[in-house]
Amino acid sequence: MTAAAAPRAWKATNPEFRERVRGAFDANRAMALIGAVLGEVGPGLVEIRLPISEMHMSHIPGVVHGGTLGMIADSALGFAALSLVPAETNGVTAEYKINLLAAAVGHEAYTRAEVVRPGTKLTVARADVWDVREGEEKLVAIALATLVAL
Amino acid sequence: MTAAAAPRAWKATNPEFRERVRGAFDANRAMALIGAVLGEVGPGLVEIRLPISEMHMSHIPGVVHGGTLGMIADSALGFAALSLVPAETNGVTAEYKINLLAAAVGHEAYTRAEVVRPGTKLTVARADVWDVREGEEKLVAIALATLVAL
Amino acid sequence: MTAAAAPRAWKATNPEFRERVRGAFDANRAMALIGAVLGEVGPGLVEIRLPISEMHMSHIPGVVHGGTLGMIADSALGFAALSLVPAETNGVTAEYKINLLAAAVGHEAYTRAEVVRPGTKLTVARADVWDVREGEEKLVAIALATLVAL
Amino acid sequence: MTAAAAPRAWKATNPEFRERVRGAFDANRAMALIGAVLGEVGPGLVEIRLPISEMHMSHIPGVVHGGTLGMIADSALGFAALSLVPAETNGVTAEYKINLLAAAVGHEAYTRAEVVRPGTKLTVARADVWDVREGEEKLVAIALATLVAL
């Protein structure tokens, strides 16, 4: 798939975009609540990692609650968009959708979000979510979002 | 709108569906983590309430993190589907999508999910999310999900 | 469901909104191509009807192609948003999603779209799609969209 | 992005999957109606091309109707899933969502859909849609779908 095979290299207009994203992540109390950790940050690219523990479980024993995966994916999508906007602009999520592909298990989950199309009004980004189980990784969710500049 | 104006009355095949949903909610650790509370439960209908505090905030001061709203909506959608399946069947979320309509503020948010079409394989449900601010309520998100019976 | 049970009455800022929507529908060649017909138009509300014939069929005999239902739903969602914008503003679809609930059969399908939240930048609307079979109607799809003002 | 950078090689269980997909495409009247043409077919991969003419236009002159792009994307997603199911199984679309990234113009549009996760019950696939303008190509839409085996 052309688009999938050739991720774009976006240019951040804000030279301090890494500090911007890190500051927004640190200010986000919901990320702290679930124990999420900011990973790699690039122009239009954000990774969030989640060390999995009992508190993330769904009603099915050993299976992470899908909404928790949605929460890190949604956040990574928003921060990926935020990395490309001017310093004086803020961004919020207009909508997101997520397909849960497999039960997430193991000791960690992580998501990588990348901007598909940046814009002055709207930005579209997509994300994958993986779990990590004994050194192996499995794709457990895929998400797509529309972000709006404020 | 015809469909919207005339919510259906579904019939639960499991006479113990209320206990089933309550048991699943209580077993869900992610719901406890964010402080969500189960509200009304009916056949194909589930309400979840979230007393809002600092820990739910996004990086924008005073505004609830959208992923937190996604988390209660996603859960209510799943439990609404679970209320209609046979006792021996479990259900998981295949996918959900949520439009965030306005910044959620105030002291409480709640979501009501209702099944649009039940099925032996797939169930489709939709949900609204409201915030409560000084006695007033505002529609802050709308969601749609596909649930699969296991 | 509160939101579903109480559809809002929106106010069109453009007093000529009906002519505006009708003009846009008539200019839309894709609607003519599939034989779609504009039905009721109100402030934030648009209905499109599709007399079903062989040309709309999927690869499963007698079953309407889901993308055709998506096409009338997507259009009705866009026109519902267009009915609420100022005369000098145009609107385009940023994204839509549709759940296909049942095989659409019969001699007609129709969709009703209604605005859930209008906005100067973004409008969110939802739609139902019904088929008509021997005097009976069945809900066959449900859709949700984000529209952007230009 | 790991998942995006490394598309999977799926194995078709039906050795006649190319004939299967071509037969389903040829039987699909809606594809003929809009003038869509089947392109490359691989295991879990389907391309559909659409020579653009006046009949595909939206109400904005020169801009292809987004629902038409949705129609080829939705079809490619369904056929990509169909390429991986056993010979005796059929597949239908449970839901799809599409983000329209830019106005589609030019003389042709095409979509490539690839399966992200095949399954005996549910398959998830994603698609890109491009337009072709004077030898240049532009990504104009991105879609994600859930398909169900029957």
Asked if residue D53 has pLDDT above 70, the reply is yes
Chain D residues touching residue A2 (CB < 8 angstroms) = 112, 128, 130, 137
Each residue's pLDDT tens digit, B96-135: 999 999 999 999 999 999 999 999 999 999 999 999 998 8
Verify whether the Cβ–Cβ distance D117 to A139 is below 8 Å. Answer: yes
A2 pLDDT tier (thresholds 50, 70, 90): very low
A134 pLDDT tier (thresholds 50, 70, 90): confident
Mean of the per-residue pLDDT values of chain A? 93
C81 pLDDT tier (thresholds 50, 70, 90): very high
| C-alpha closest to that of A144 among A105, A103, A111 | A111
| pLDDT score, position B135 | 82
Q: What percent of chain B has pLDDT over 70?
A: 95
According to CATH, the topology of domain D8-149 is Thiol Ester Dehydrase; Chain A (3.10.129)
pTM over 0.90: yes
What are the residue boundaries of the structural domains of chain C, listed by start? 2-148
Verify whether the Cβ–Cβ distance D95 to C98 is below 8 Å. Answer: yes
Residue for token pair 């230009």: C150
Each residue's pLDDT tens digit, D66-77: 999 999 999 999
Query: What is the residue type of C9?
Result: A
- How many whole angstroms separate alpha carbon A89 and alpha carbon A94? 15
H or E, element range at C82: helix C66-82
Q: What percent of chain A has pLDDT over 70?
A: 95
Asked if residue B150 has pLDDT above 50, the reply is yes
Task: Say how many C-beta atoms besides its own lie within 10 A of residue C41's C-beta.
Answer: 23
Whether C60 contacts D150, CB under 8 Å: no
Q: Which of A1, A3, A97 faces D97 most closely, judged by CB atoms?
A: A97
Alpha carbon of B143: minimum distance to chain A alpha carbons (Å): 9
Q: Which of B54, B75, B99 faces A67 most closely, judged by CB atoms?
A: B75
- How many whole angstroms separate alpha carbon B60 and alpha carbon B64? 8
- How many whole angstroms separate alpha carbon C25 and alpha carbon C36? 10
Chain C residues touching residue A146 (CB < 8 angstroms) = 94-95, 146
Each residue's pLDDT tens digit, A17-30: 999 999 999 999 99
Is C4 or C131 the better-scoring residue by pLDDT? C131
| C-alpha closest to that of C71 among D73, D32, D24 | D73
- How many whole angstroms separate alpha carbon A66 and alpha carbon A68? 5
For the domain spanning C2-148, the CATH number is: 3.10.129.10
Q: How many CB pairs under 8 A join B and D?
A: 17
Q: Among A45, A126, A132, A138, pick the best mutation site for testing chain D contact (most D Cβ within 10 A).
A: A126
D7 pLDDT tier (thresholds 50, 70, 90): low
| pLDDT score, position D18 | 98
Asked if residue A5 has pLDDT above 80, the reply is no
Bridge partner list, D6: none
Whether A100 contacts A66, CB under 8 Å: yes
Q: Strand pairing of B91-100 and C108-117?
A: unpaired
| pLDDT score, position D3 | 40
Whether C140 contacts C115, CB under 8 Å: no
Please give the C-alpha separations between residue B22 and each of B43, B55, C57, D120, in angstroms, as whole numbers: 13, 25, 44, 31
Asked if residue C91 has pLDDT above 50, the reply is yes
Residue D147: HSE in the Cβ half-sphere, 13 Å Cα cutoff: 33
Asked if residue B2 has pLDDT above 50, the reply is no
| DSSP annotation of D11 | -
Query: What is the residue type of C93?
Result: T
Chains that touch D (3 or more CB pairs under 8 A): A, B, C
According to CATH, the topology of domain A2-149 is Thiol Ester Dehydrase; Chain A (3.10.129)
Asked if residue A56 has pLDDT above 60, the reply is yes
- How many whole angstroms separate alpha carbon D49 and alpha carbon C48? 27
User: Is residue B6 packed enough to be buried (19+ CB in 10 Å), middle (13-18) or exposed (0-12)?
Assistant: exposed
Chain C residues touching residue A97 (CB < 8 angstroms) = 97
Q: Which of residues 70-89 of C touch A (CB under 8 A)?
A: none
Q: Among A38, A60, A65, A126, pick the best mutation site for testing chain B contact (most B Cβ within 10 A).
A: A65
Q: Which of C45, C97, C101 faces B97 most closely, judged by CB atoms?
A: C97
Alpha carbon of A145: minimum distance to chain C alpha carbons (Å): 9
H or E, element range at B46: strand B45-51
DSSP of D65-124: -HHHHHHHHHHHHHHHHHTTS-TT--EEEEEEEEEE-S---SSEEEEEEEEEE--SSEEE
Strand segments, DSSP code E, in A1-150 are 37-42, 45-51, 91-100, 108-117, 122-133, 136-149
- Please state at what angle helix A17-27 crosses helix A66-82, rounded to 10 degrees: 150
